[in-house]
């Protein structure tokens, strides 16, 4: 009787042995095939990971595999190593990693029937490659000189400097060498033109996109094309880092600083970090590109004290001739009374654009009408009953909405507490800004772009088309508008409400603010028309804004890194966060205290344990949340502790409604 060891999607750090059914004989080449097996009273899809000679269990106890699925080639060995790395690094059982990274359609017993491919027939016009600029040439030459083996490059280039063109040339080279390419992007919905651009440049490469908005069947189909080798380019969001690619020869991570590369539930991985591991493991080059690299990557490229060394390549100039970086100026809002949050200078600048038939963008990273509704009589404010957070007023559809748990209710006509009819929105979101600008500039066509107005890809594409077609004069938008777009008539960006990030408790807030403002500034003046960026602030002398005015990412980054080093923050220390949530805070804290005590009494070398504390958003959806930070100057010491801890945590008895997870390299606190 032959035994097959099978990985299953269960939260246990082990595999399961099954008997291979009569008439099947599995060989080493079949390791990596999917199988259907009985598990308890269910049937599950698993992956064959080993064909052991013996089992720890008596053969008579082993159940038999129901079916060996040969509809897909076996998953390759390097895919296994990738899963093993993630399992060890992120402390997630290997079976869970393997199965959870398969497209849903390939791990379900009864996947929905694939509908006919809805691929649109219209092919984009062929995209001609421009003559490279000197800077692009130099960057490409440096990467070519690096050879075909592992090397990590950080391509730092201001918005519009032609990073994408560099990627396209690299892709061209890899395809010509018979290799496959993986191109990771933060949110594909926001960058349909990139997809079009890659598809047009490489019409024969079987471009396969992979992101969560695809239907299950389409995702499975594209994934299969990658595994079978018919797709030579995979363009996808973070989940696509797990696509098996037998001929992988190059990985590109665009906008590598973007927080959406971090998965926020289940296995909390960073697709960028996994990509670097994968490139090293496959011994191929990887290019990380950004106008505002993450400080981790920047340190890796510029700071000799950090271990991983990236090669820094810089594009200083915009690629299109005569396209200048926009002039960035600060408007000191301490000196005047703002009109509905808008300074006279910004209003005049918008007016000028209207006269010239150009577009303006007012950037406010807060959607909704107002962050809270208040009663002027008794001081009542609109709280979410399920979270330690306020309900945001959405006047457009007359709702109060919690941005944390999704709870919503109608806007009350009177104060629920005292009956007073005078309840007022407090503060300002994009909807209110849209209204204010409409009153101010009745002749202007105003378009709001945020997660509410662009819920689906379709809606987003319609909005983008309108902007391109010049059917809007003033755009009001959140960071959605900051990403990857080239609006030729947009010449003015006004930024409101930026200051709040300067003094936030989260020490990563300035990094995010700088990146956002730099990105949004990058939208102005991309073509012939010069751009202008106005930042309303009460802290015009803040060094962050000073660096922004000079478009000086390096000095901002270096200053931040100095501060982080002094404070003992990443990337000069390594962190992991244990979080727990339960109906009662006391239970969450008690679990963390037990976990902490376990780690403290064990040999844990160079690891520092903080105290369990309630999270900033201490209650969400009726669960009370707490966290425990652990930290070490040594990545290795941290990893060793975590691997022992991970197992010990599973053994801690917890109240039935308590949930916990461990996050390595947490980004948010």
From Zn ion, ligand ADP, none, interface partner of 165 (C-beta below 5 to 8 A by class): ligand ADP
Q: Which stretch binds ligand ADP (CB under 6 A): 9-17, 94-102, 124-132, 616-624?
A: 124-132
From ligand ADP, Zn ion, none, interface partner of 598 (C-beta below 5 to 8 A by class): none
| Closer to Zn ion by Cβ: residue 109 or 378 | 378
Which parts of 136-155 interact with ligand ADP (CB under 6 A)?
Answer: 136
Q: Would you give the binding string for ligand ADP spanning residues 300-339, x where CB under 6 A is met?
A: -------------------xx-------------------
Length of the chain equals 669
* DSSP element (H, E) containing 374: strand 372-375
Output the smallest distance, CB 161 to ligand ADP, in A.
4
One residue of 88, 132, 549, 629 binding ligand ADP per CB under 6 A:
132
Cα separation, 669 vs 101, in Å, equals 26
- Torsion angle of the four alpha carbons 103, 152, 157, 561, in this order, in degrees rounded to the nearest 10: 100
One residue of 85, 150, 380, 610 binding Zn ion per CB under 5 A:
380
Bridge-partner residues for 7, per DSSP? 47
One residue of 95, 157, 368, 510 binding ligand ADP per CB under 6 A:
157
Output the smallest distance, CB 101 to ligand ADP, in A.
28
From Zn ion, ligand ADP, none, interface partner of 320 (C-beta below 5 to 8 A by class): ligand ADP
Owner of token pair 């984009």? 124
Cα separation, 578 vs 592, in Å, equals 7
Owner of token pair 């400080």? 295
From ligand ADP, Zn ion, none, interface partner of 157 (C-beta below 5 to 8 A by class): ligand ADP
Q: Would you give the binding string for ligand ADP spanning residues 592-631, x where CB under 6 A is met?
A: ----------------------------------------
Which parts of 158-187 interact with ligand ADP (CB under 6 A)?
Answer: 159-165
Owner of token pair 């340190």? 299
* DSSP element (H, E) containing 435: helix 430-440
Q: How do the residues of the chain divide into helix, strand and coil, expressed in percent and rounded to 5?
A: 35, 25, 45
Which parts of 290-319 interact with Zn ion (CB under 5 A)?
Answer: none
From ligand ADP, Zn ion, none, interface partner of 378 (C-beta below 5 to 8 A by class): Zn ion
Cα separation, 264 vs 151, in Å, equals 28
| Closer to ligand ADP by Cβ: residue 164 or 588 | 164
Output the smallest distance, CB 52 to Zn ion, in A.
49
Q: Are 401 and 408 in contact (CB under 8 A)?
A: yes
From Zn ion, ligand ADP, none, interface partner of 405 (C-beta below 5 to 8 A by class): Zn ion
407 contacts Zn ion (rule: CB under 5 A): yes
| Closer to ligand ADP by Cβ: residue 132 or 549 | 132
Q: Which of 260, 262, 101, 267 is nearest to 186 (CA)?
A: 260
598 contacts Zn ion (rule: CB under 5 A): no
Cα separation, 167 vs 547, in Å, equals 28
| Closer to ligand ADP by Cβ: residue 133 or 189 | 133
| Closer to ligand ADP by Cβ: residue 235 or 446 | 235
Tell me the two tokens of residue 432. 């209110």
409 contacts Zn ion (rule: CB under 5 A): no
Cα separation, 437 vs 346, in Å, equals 11
| Closer to Zn ion by Cβ: residue 324 or 383 | 383
Three-point CA angle 179, 181, 184, nearest 5°: 170
| Closer to Zn ion by Cβ: residue 200 or 388 | 388
Computed over its alpha carbons, how large is the radius of gyration of the chain?
27
Cα separation, 104 vs 92, in Å, equals 19
Output the smallest distance, CB 293 to Zn ion, in A.
34
Beta strands at 532-537 and 327-332: parallel, antiparallel or unpaired: parallel
For residue 521, cis peptide bond before it (omega within 30 degrees of 0): no
- Transcribe 137-178 into DSSP letters: HHHHHHHHHT-SS-EEEEEEE-TTSSHHHHHHHHHHHHHHTT
270 contacts ligand ADP (rule: CB under 6 A): no
133 contacts ligand ADP (rule: CB under 6 A): yes
Residue 397 CA: distances (Å) to CA of 99, 213, 285, 288, 426:
40, 25, 49, 41, 18
State the number of binding residues for ligand ADP (CB under 6 A).
16
Q: Which residues of the chain form contacts with ligand ADP (CB under 6 A)?
A: 130-133, 136, 157, 159-165, 319-320, 486
Q: Which residues of the chain form contacts with Zn ion (CB under 5 A)?
A: 375, 377-378, 380, 384, 386-387, 402, 404-405, 407, 415, 417-418, 420
């Amino acid at each position: 009787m032959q035994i097959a060891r099978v990985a299953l999607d269960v939260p246990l750090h082990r595999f399961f042995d099954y008997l291979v059914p009569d008439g099947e004989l599995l060989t080493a080449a079949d390791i990596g095939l999917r199988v259907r097996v009985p598990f308890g009273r269910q049937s599950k899809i698993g992956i064959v990971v080993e064909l052991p000679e013996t089992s720890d269990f008596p053969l008579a106890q082993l159940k038999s595999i129901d079916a060996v699925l040969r509809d897909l080639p076996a998953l390759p060995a390097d895919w296994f190593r990738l899963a093993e790395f993630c399992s060890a690094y992120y402390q997630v059982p290997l079976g869970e990693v393997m199965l959870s990274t398969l497209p849903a359609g390939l791990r379900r017993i009864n996947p929905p029937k694939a509908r006919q491919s809805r691929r649109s027939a219209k092919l984009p016009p062929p995209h001609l490659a421009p003559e490279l600029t000197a800077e692009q040439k130099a960057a490409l030459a440096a990467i070519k000189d690096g050879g075909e083996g592992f090397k990590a490059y950080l391509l730092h280039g201001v918005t519009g400097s032609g990073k994408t063109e560099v990627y396209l040339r690299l892709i061209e080279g890899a395809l010509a060498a018979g290799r496959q390419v993986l191109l990771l992007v933060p949110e594909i919905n926001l960058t349909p033109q990139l997809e079009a651009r890659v598809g047009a440049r490489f019409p024969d490469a079987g471009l396969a996109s992979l992101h969560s908005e695809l239907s299950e069947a389409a995702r499975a189909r594209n994934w299969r094309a990658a595994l079978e080798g018919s797709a030579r380019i995979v363009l996808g969001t973070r989940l696509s880092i797990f696509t098996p690619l037998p001929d992988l020869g190059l990985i590109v991570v665009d906008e590598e600083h973007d927080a959406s590369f971090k998965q926020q539930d289940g296995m909390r991985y960073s697709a960028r970090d996994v990509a670097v591991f994968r490139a090293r493991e496959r011994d191929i080059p990887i290019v990380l590109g950004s106008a505002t690299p993450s400080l981790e990557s920047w340190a890796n490229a510029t700071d000799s004290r950090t271990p991983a060394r990236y090669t820094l390549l810089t594009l200083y100039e915009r690629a299109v001739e005569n396209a200048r970086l926009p002039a960035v100026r600060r408007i000191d809002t301490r000196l005047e009374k703002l009109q509905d949050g808008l300074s006279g200078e910004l209003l005049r600048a918008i007016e000028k654009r209207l006269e010239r038939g150009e577009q303006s963008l007012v950037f406010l990273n807060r959607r909704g009408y107002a962050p809270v509704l208040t009663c002027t009589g008794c001081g009542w404010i609109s709280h979410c009953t399920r979270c330690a957070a306020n309900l945001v007023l959405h006047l457009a559809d007359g709702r109060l909405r919690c941005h944390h748990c999704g709870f919503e209710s109608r806007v009350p006509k009177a104060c629920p507490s005292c009956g007073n009819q005078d309840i007022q929105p407090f503060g300002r979101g994009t909807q209110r800004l849209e209204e204010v600008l409409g009153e101010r500039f009745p002749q202007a066509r105003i378009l709001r772009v945020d997660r509410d107005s662009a819920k689906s890809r379709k809606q987003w594409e319609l909005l983008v088309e309108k902007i391109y077609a010049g059917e809007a004069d003033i755009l009001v938008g959140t960071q959605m508008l900051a990403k990857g777009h080239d609006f030729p008539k947009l010449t003015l960006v006004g930024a409101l409400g930026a200051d709040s990030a300067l003094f936030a408790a989260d020490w990563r807030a300035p990094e995010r603010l700088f990146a956002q403002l730099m990105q949004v500034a990058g939208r102005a003046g991309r073509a012939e028309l010069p751009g202008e960026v106005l930042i309303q602030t009460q802290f015009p002398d803040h060094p962050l804004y000073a660096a922004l005015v000079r478009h000086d990412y390096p000095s901002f980054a270096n200053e931040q890194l100095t501060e982080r080093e002094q404070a003992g923050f990443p990337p000069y220390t390594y962190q992991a966060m244990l979080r727990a949530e339960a109906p009662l805070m006391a239970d969450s804290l008690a679990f963390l205290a037990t976990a902490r005590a376990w780690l403290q009494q064990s040999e844990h070398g160079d690891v520092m344990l903080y105290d369990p504390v309630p999270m900033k958003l201490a209650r969400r959806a009726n669960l009370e949340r707490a966290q425990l930070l652990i930290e070490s100057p040594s990545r290795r010491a941290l990893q060793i502790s975590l691997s022992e801890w991970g197992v010990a945590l599973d053994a801690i008895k917890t109240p039935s409604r308590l949930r916990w997870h461990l996050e390595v390299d947490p980004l948010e606190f």
